A and B are shown apart, each in its own frame.
Chain A
Amino acid sequence: MSVTQEYKCPCCGGAIGFDSSIQKMKCPYCDCEFEMEALAAYDNDLNSQQADNMNWNTNVGESWQPGEEEGLRVYVCNSCGGEIVCDENSAATSCPYCDNPVVFKGQFAGDLKPDLVIPFKFDKAAAKAALKKHYEGKRLLPKVFKDQNHIDEIKGVYVPFWLFDATADAHVRFKATKTRTWSDSRYNYTETSYFAVNRSGNVAFANVPVDGSTKMADDMMESIEPFNMNEAVDFQTAYLAGYLADKYDVSAEESINRANQRIKNSAELALEATVHGYTSVQPEYSSVSFYDGYAKYALLPVWILNTNWKGKKYTFAMNGQTGKFVGDLPMDKGIYKKWLWSIAAIASAACFALSWLMWWA
Chain B
Amino acid sequence: MKKIIIVLLTVIMSCTMLLTVSADESLSPIVDNADMFTADDETAILSKINDICNTYSIDALVLTVTDNEGMTTAEYLEKFYTDNGYSDDGIMVIISTETNSFYTNAVGRCARVMDEAAYTIVDDAFLAEDTYAAGTEALLDAFDTLLVDLEDVTGDLPYVIDNADLLTDTEETALADKLTEISTRLECDVIVLTEVSIDTEAQAYADDYFDYNGYGQGGQRDGILMLVSMDPRKWHVSGSGICNSDLVSLDYICEEIVGYLQNESYATCFNSFADRCDNAVSAARNGEAYKEPFKPGMSLVISVVIGFIVAFIATGVMKGKLKTVRANNLAQNYAVPGSLNVYNARDMFLYRQVTYTEKSNDSDSSNGSHTSSSGRSHSGKGGSF
Q: CB within 8 Å of B: which residues of A?
A: 134, 137-141, 167, 171, 176, 183, 185-209, 217-220, 222-223, 225-226, 259, 261-263, 265-266, 269-271, 274, 325-331, 336, 339-352, 355-356, 359-360
Contacts and interface: CB of A to CB of B under 8 A. Distances in A.
Contacts of A206: 334, 336
B301 to A, nearest CB: 10
Nearest to B320: A140
Given A189-B355, A195-B347, A336-B319, 4 more contacts: A171-B344, A188-B358, A201-B340, A344-B310
B344 A262 contact: no
16 contacts: A140-B322, A167-B339, A197-B347, A201-B342, A203-B336, A203-B340, A203-B341, A207-B334, A219-B327, A220-B325, A222-B328, A263-B331, A269-B330, A270-B340, A352-B299, A355-B302
Q: Is the interface of A mostly helix, strand, loop or mixed?
A: mixed
A281 to B, nearest CB: 11
A196 B346 CA distance: 8
B303 A187 contact: no
B63 to A, nearest CB: 42
A167 B340 CA distance: 10
Nearest to B313: A343
A331 B322 contact: yes
Given A186-B358, A199-B344, A344-B307, A223 B332 contact: no
Given A206-B334, A270-B335, A336-B315, A187 B328 contact: no
Given A194-B350, A331-B322, A265 B306 contact: no
Interface in B289-325: 291-292, 294, 296, 299-300, 302-304, 306-308, 310-312, 314-315, 318-319, 321-325
Contacts of B3: none
B384 to A, nearest CB: 11
A202 B319 contact: no
B100 interface: no
A55 B385 CA distance: 106
Interface residues of B, number: 56
A36 to B, nearest CB: 27
Nearest to B357: A188
A131 B354 CA distance: 58
B307 A262 contact: no
A340 B352 contact: no
B310 A343 contact: yes
Contact of B341 (A186, A201, A360): A201
Contacts of A176: 347
A246 to B, nearest CB: 20
Interface string B347-375: 11111111111110000000000000000
Contact of B324 (A328, A343, A355): A328
Contacts of B302: 351, 355
Contacts of B348: 195-198
B345 interface: yes
A262 B311 contact: no
Most chain A beta-carbon neighbours within 10 Å: one of B311, B315, B336, B354: B315
B355 A205 contact: no
Contacts of A351: 302-303, 306-307
Nearest to A326: B324
Given A186-B359, A343-B315, A222 B327 contact: yes
